Structure 1
Amino acid sequence: MATKPLSRLDLNLLVALDALLTERSVTRAAERLSLSQPALSASLSRLRIHFGDPILVREGNSYTLSPLAIRLVDQTAIALESARRVFAAHAEWDASESTREFVIYGSDYSFVAIGRHVSALAAERAPGVRFRFNLHYPQFVQDAGHVLRTVDGILIPHGPVEGLRYVDLFSDGWVGVAATDNTLVGDEITMEVAASSQWVFTYQSQLAFTSAGRQLQELGVEPKVQTVVEGFLAMPAFIAGTQRLGLIQARLAPFAANHGGVKVVSLPFEATPLQEALWWHPVHDRDPEHVWMRLLFAEAGRTIAAE
């Protein structure tokens, strides 16, 4: 089939295609682009004619992507981002004059451990730059390759995310948390107490878990999880005044100790350290502002690792 000259293609369809592939719904894609549903339906019809493919395939009350559409997801995102960079380009880019907002997902731990340092560095060097730190969720991590096309990155240790670009930031260990009046726990949680006590876990599913919690299970202790809270900083509030136990990263130990009513203790096993990293989609590789942001995280990571 002959390729149409670029001058004869309506590049607005690229925007519509990206929204349809991302939202997988004509209604949601129209809302995203602030267009009427009939207008976007017309764009979808033109795209179907151009590609000779349905793009969106109805299954029950929802739509799924056709095999061709799945192949187009990354190509479309990269092409659209490249077009945006062309029209946003300036002769010189100066971070100190930028007003860009970077959207980063992660846990409250990652925001405390490194996000606050990156924010401080940016405030010194580029006061117009903003960061939006959003809490991730299991579905985000499961579909990170898709979601990261439209945000700037995710802070998460190695393990749950694969096949994306990343930069390692720092490593961290694990410690236990117990109530100060828990007479079963001294300076260390024993394996016997670990097996008999109730626990507060931060994540507990096939897709969301901590490496230390998984390691405890591999050592033959099936924790009796009484409470699940999707945040590390909230954990001490669920442990103080109880016989429950918890696991947190070593860099959060001072924050936990400051809560009151809890103590930080050693674990009865050598917990495998976690390696925190910033992950992003290849669509952002050559974006100069994104490169600057990644270098900022890398610098903050080196400072933390040297502490």
Structure 2
Amino acid sequence: MAVDRMLANLDLNLLVTLDALLRERNVTRSAELLGLSQPAVSGALSRLRRHFGDPLLVRVGNRYDLTPLASRVAALTGPALAGVRRVFDSTTEVDPSELDREFTLVTSDYAAAILGPILARMLAERAPGARLRLQQTTPTAVDHAADTLRTADGLIIPYGFVTGLPHLDLYEDRWVCIVSADNPQVEESLSLVQLKHMPWVVLFDRPTAFAPAVRQLRMLGIEARVDVVVDGFMQMPFLVAGTGRVAVIQERLATLMAPIAGVRILECPFDVVTLNESFWWNPMNTNDPVHAWFRQLMIEAADLLWPSF
């Protein structure tokens, strides 16, 4: 009951202001972000300082830093706001034309380029008041998927990297090799011997790197000569073009990028697993009608992709 009385005496608008202040660390910028006056935000900061019994923001030179307590609180405000929004967005029926919210997807630039345009178009047609945020994934976001999905509507990643969370399969793709269109050392096919000596462009170069090429080569007793490491698939064709490098990317993306970047698509000279791109979400969203509607939209968007192979 004590907790209930405490919540009853709190203004939830303070949570929004607290989140802005801890992110911006500046009263003026927070006021601009929230569309409020600077005195109003300063007053809210005073109330927050009284509530926590802590200054929250302390001046260091010409800037403000978070206190140790504020640093801990800052990690909680995002998930708390997301939870509040889910509570007040809940409804038994969904009218897409009335939706006024943002759907956040954590995804690679590959899936964003392949599926993103279709999904964005369908969302604009059916829910013109909704917004789509495509947030670049990282190995940390994948390694800690449950934490990532506390503040995001979904994570798009190949099946096999996340377990213990609900998901649905979207589409299949396969891995292919790309080389520069003018590479004189490569004819109509690649051999394992060539791959052993060619410089590589790889993604992240760690366990959650998505592309299995380096790991599979190691299983074949070949240590790839890594020349460039990137954090996105879209960069890879341009780092291969005009060089003697090789990379392995998804066939759908290779088909899209080959004429733009000036690369050739070749079969991998080793067996590669089929890529099953999947959509993962927080279990607390499973029975949410709005989220269920969005998941169905994802399925329909994936069904409109052109065949890969």
Aligned match of 1:131: 132
* Match for residue 89 of structure 2 among 85, 88, 109: 85
CA distance in 1, matches of 2:172, 2:153: 22
Output the CA distance in 1 between the equivalents of 2:192 and 2:137: 32
Residue 45 of structure 1 and its aligned partner are, at CA, apart by 7.6
Q: Contact between 2:15 and 2:81, CA under 8 Å: does it hold in 1? A: no
The equivalent of 1:12 in structure 2 is 12
Please list, as runs of the form range in 1=range in 2, the aligned pairs for 1:217-296 lying within 5 A after superposition: 217-259=218-260, 261-296=262-297
Overall identity of the aligned pairs, in %: 34
Tell me, which stretches of 5 or more residues in structure 2 are unaligned? 57-64
For the residue of structure 2 that corresponds to 1:234, the secondary structure is helix
1:164–1:279 Cα contact (<8 Å) kept: yes
Q: Letter of the 2:114 partner, please give it.
A: A
Distance change (3 Å), C-alpha of 1:2 and 1:188: same
Question: CA 1:83 to 1:120, structure 2 compared with 1: closer, same or farther past 3 Å?
Answer: closer
Deviation at 1:303, TM superposition (A): 3.8
In the TM superposition, residue 264 of structure 1 has moved relative to its aligned partner by 0.5
What SS does the corresponding residue of 1:133 show, helix, strand or coil?
A: strand
Q: Tell me the distance in 1 between the aligned counterparts of 2:119 and 2:229.
A: 29
Counterpart Cα distance in 1 of 2:226 and 2:171: 29
Residue-by-residue CA offset, 1:167-192 (whole Å, 9 max, x unaligned): 21112111001123323322322111
In the TM superposition, what is the alpha-carbon distance from 1:166 to its structure 2 partner? 1.9
Please say if residues 19 and 78 of structure 2, whose CA atoms lie closer than 8 Å, have aligned partners that are also in contact.
no
How big is the shift at 1:135?
1.9
Q: Could you tell me the TM-score, scaled by structure 2's length?
A: 0.74
Distance 1:182 1:46, change over 3 A: same
Give the corresponding residue for 1:214: 215
Which secondary structure does the structure 2 equivalent of 1:188 belong to? coil
Cα distance in 2 between the residues matched to 1:262 and 1:46: 60
- Measure the CA separation in 2 of the matches of 1:14 and 1:220: 59
In 1, the alpha carbon distance for the partners of 2:254 and 2:8 equals 61
AA paired with 1:268? P
The 8 Å contact of residues 14 and 80 in structure 1, kept in 2 or not, is answered as no
Which SS does the other structure have where 2:177 is aligned?
Answer: strand
1:230 alignment partner AA: D
Q: For residues 111-260 of structure 1, what are the structure 2 equivalents within 5 Å?
A: 111-259=112-260
CA gap 1:44/1:109 in 2 versus in 1, 3 angstroms: same
- Correspondence 1:61-80 to 2 at 5 A: 80=84
Aligned mates of 1:41, 1:223 — CA distance in 2: 58
CA contact (8 A) 1:109 1:233 kept: yes
Q: Is the 8 A contact 1:187 1:266 kept in 2?
A: no
CA contact (8 A) 1:165 1:279 kept: yes
Cα distance in 2, alignment partners of residues 108 and 75 from structure 1:
24
Gaps of at least 5 residues in structure 1 are 49-55
Partners of 2:275 and 2:131 in 1: CA distance: 28
Q: CA RMSD in A?
A: 4.1
CA contact (8 A) 1:103 1:153 kept: yes
Paired residues in the alignment total: 291
Q: How far is the alpha carbon of 1:14 from its aligned partner? A: 9.5
Once the two structures are superposed, what CA deviation does each residue of 1:106-160 show, in whole Å capped at 9, x if it has no partner? 1221012222221222233233333222322233333332232222222211233
Instruction: Tell me the alpha carbon deviations over residues 51-92 of structure 1, each in whole angstroms, 9 at most, x when there is no partner.
Output: xxxxx9xxxx98889xxx9xx999957853453236xx5x85
Measure, in 2, the Cα distance between the counterparts of 1:123 and 1:75: 26
**SS of alignment partner, residue 233 of structure 1:** helix
